[in-house]
Structure 1
Amino acid sequence: MPGEKSDRVFRLFDLRSHKGESDCWIAIHGNVYNVTKFLNSHPGGKRVILQHAGTDATAAFDDVHPVEILDEYLRPDQLLGKVELTDQNVTAKKQSTTVDSPPMAIILSIAEMESLALQRLSPKAISYYASGSDDEITKVANASIFKSILLRPRVFVDCSSCWLSTTILGNRVGLPIYISPAAMAKLAHSSGEAGIASACSRFNALQIISKNASMSVADIVRAGPNAVFAWQLYVLKDLKATERTLAQIKTIPQIKFIVLTLDAPFPGKREADERYKAAEVARGAPPQVWGTNASLTWGKTLSWLQRHTDLPIVLKGIQTHEDAYLASQFPAVKGVILSNHGGRALDTANTPMQVLLEIRKYCPQVVCQVDVLIDGGIKRGTDVVKALALGAKGVGLGRAALYGLAVGGEEGVYRSLQILADETATAMRLLGVSNVNDLGPHHVNTAALESLLYDGPSGLEMIADRTGARL
């Protein structure tokens, strides 16, 4: 581990001459690291490191990273020693401008929460959270498609009680609504992912912790004693680093399954985010170094992953019925998340609801073989009900959770979940349904979407022949 090597003590003055690309030192949490060989592999690009080279960068580091990430990315020999901090040179913590939060009870919709959040978030956070790729067609369609699905209420049904509890991968949860993995929550609020976990705990809800969370997994799960947790996995080009992280996750019993993200093997062109980065550096930021492994394949990657975890595997980023069917052919895969990365990867890709309808059309057995989850565009309880009626076990919130966090910390996330829970219960009662498990395709009319669905050959026979030999 990087924290175990040298007893040598440096002064900050000693670091200042090591600021270039050929010799780059940096101090984080009282330790001095030589990160010269790491510059070109830093997922955020080398420029951000060079901006803080020769200084104590603890405050900037803590904004976006948990301290454990140093063990994953840096080798033991890169730790040079300790840094001597005095009253004059101790790291100055960033002073955040406090904006009073409105009473949570007066916020009545996810759209209202988003509007308030965009007034509070920094330009950096807005460019990162809100951006979609290219023309943002898919980002917008993720939400708008729900308007084309109509509900079919039944009357003379006793709906005096309403139960939102369900199971996801065998784990009992209080809501069919979960928190999708979303990176760098501390950009929204100092409580970060721990604030989200605390809100989830109050609902016994599921939180999928981002691989790029701004806090350690241990601290996050500690904040949510009654929540259910899963962990998002990106397979890095540095496979050994990924294996070290998987070994760490093995030691955290609160993590119930692994969510392998597949819809971003390469970054989409998110212009708002790129524009901010370019403006941040007067002469233009260098190209981002994408650290995700782009060479993943079904058999090879799933076999490798099974060697390093005993947890159930969920595949996130399924965008066609063929891939949903393929996923169901691998016994290690217990669930899929229909997702297009919130419209942040390939623009004009199908929305998750279109993929769900594709599955129902070509391979409906998939929804019985694996748990099907969706994320992207959920803003109303009626959206939740429509997804569940078509076979989804749960729906995920990404941006909505971050916006709630920005407005009120834990209470803002709690309010966002409460809004959707109340709207979902109301919609169910008006449909004549008292239990989420009783929702079905007879409760929705999807005829308006028929022309938007893939109408080619299913291709499943070829897939079955090819995968049968492998399995």
Structure 2
Amino acid sequence: MRQKFEDEGSEVQRGAAGIDRSQGAARAISSFIDPGLSWRDLDWFKTITKMPIVLKGVQCWEDALDTSRSGIEILEEVVTALRERGLFPNPKFEIYVDGGVRRATDVLKAVAMGATAVGVGRPFIYAYSAYGQEGVEAALQILHEEFEMNLRLLGAPTIKDVVPAMVDTTSLKSHIVAVPQDSLYYTNYEILSGARLRETPAKL
């Protein structure tokens, strides 16, 4: 005999009745963006936190100069220039992984490979756009519990005990795929032949 299953939802879902879900995660992201921010606001940010302030998206040399004058301690785009000059990796630098983190195991892998910290954004944006602040708190609690559970499964009492040997990277090579061919270009456009120089007989 079949038994009907009824799911009343979690406590987070019950408490999110007044949240507008009609605009999705994209609108939730834009709600955090203040177009009025300027370099003058950096002094205010320094007064409300003791943590390092990280700037991303510096795209021109004028902004880079403004960044250096503002006293910012971390500039993500500088890493490429340091690597080109052989100054990175360096034990004096800290590594932050940002993007693509969806599970606590992703955080553990990054920490094991040498990351100082990991940035998580998209899962919290989804939680916020659907369930508000309570959704973000619930998502953070889920990540925290998953992190502790996987630490136990690895046999690591603390984060300091997580080492690179705990990560199996041998399968990375099998995930590399060939660059897809531009079929539109090869089927619709005639490939021009290369220019040829006029051949002249050599004079001996």
Task: Map 1:421-460 onto structure 2 (within 5 A).
Answer: 421-450=144-173
Task: Map 1:390-405 onto structure 2 (within 5 A).
Answer: 390-405=113-128
Q: Which has the larger radius of gyration?
A: 2
CA gap of 1:374–1:440, structure 2 versus 1, over 3 A, is same
Q: Matches of 2:135 and 2:86 in 1, distance apart?
A: 37
Matched residue type, 1:122? S
Q: 1:395: Cα distance to partner?
A: 1.3
8 Å contact kept, 1:121–1:406 = yes
In the alignment, structure 1 residue 325 sits paired with structure 2 residue 83: yes
- Give the aligned partner of residue 5 of structure 2: none
In the alignment, structure 1 residue 104 sits paired with structure 2 residue 12: yes
SS in 2 for 1:374: strand
TM-score (norm 2): 0.63
SS in 2 for 1:445: coil
- Give the aligned partner of residue 130 of structure 2: 407
Task: Map 1:134-145 onto structure 2 (within 5 A).
Answer: none
- Give the aligned partner of residue 60 of structure 2: 295
- Give the aligned partner of residue 184 of structure 2: none
Matched residue type, 1:424? F
Q: Matches of 2:151 and 2:107 in 1, distance apart?
A: 10
CA gap of 1:327–1:411, structure 2 versus 1, over 3 A, is farther
Matched residue type, 1:306? S
Q: Matches of 1:213 and 1:399 in 2, distance apart?
A: 19
Q: Matches of 1:444 and 1:403 in 2, distance apart?
A: 28
Aligned pairs, number: 165
Q: 1:385: Cα distance to partner?
A: 0.8
8 Å contact kept, 1:328–1:370 = no
Q: 1:383: Cα distance to partner?
A: 1.2
8 Å contact kept, 1:256–1:312 = no
SS in 2 for 1:242: coil
Q: 1:422: Cα distance to partner?
A: 0.7
- Give the aligned partner of residue 369 of structure 1: 92
SS in 2 for 1:416: helix
Task: Map 1:170-181 onto structure 2 (within 5 A).
Answer: none
Among residues 73, 77, 86, which one is paired with 1:312 in the alignment?
73
Contiguous gaps of at least 5 residues in structure 1:
1-100, 107-115, 130-181, 186-211, 217-240, 266-293, 330-362, 454-471
SS in 2 for 1:243: coil
Q: 1:184: Cα distance to partner?
A: 1.8
Contiguous gaps of at least 5 residues in structure 2:
1-8, 177-204
In the alignment, structure 1 residue 244 sits paired with structure 2 residue 51: no
Q: 1:440: Cα distance to partner?
A: 1.4
Q: Deviations over 1:244-278 (max 9, x none)?
A: 2234334x23252221213xx6xxxxxxxxxxxxx
Q: 1:327: Cα distance to partner?
A: 9.6
Matched residue type, 2:60? S
Matched residue type, 1:423? E
SS in 1 for 2:53: strand
Q: 1:378: Cα distance to partner?
A: 1.6
Q: Deviations over 1:131-183 (max 9, x none)?
A: xxxxxxxxxxxxxxxxxxxxxxxxxxxxxxxxxxxxxxxxxxxxxxxxxxx54
8 Å contact kept, 1:405–1:412 = yes
CA RMSD in angstroms comes to: 3.7
CA gap of 1:443–1:327, structure 2 versus 1, over 3 A, is farther
Q: 1:429: Cα distance to partner?
A: 0.6
SS in 1 for 2:61: coil
8 Å contact kept, 1:257–1:314 = no
Q: Matches of 2:148 and 2:168 in 1, distance apart?
A: 20
Task: Map 1:162-311 onto structure 2 (within 5 A).
Answer: 183-185=30-32, 212-213=33-34, 242-250=38-46, 252-254=47-49, 256-262=51-57, 294-296=59-61, 301=64, 303-309=65-71, 311=72
CA gap of 1:450–1:296, structure 2 versus 1, over 3 A, is farther
TM-score (norm 1): 0.30
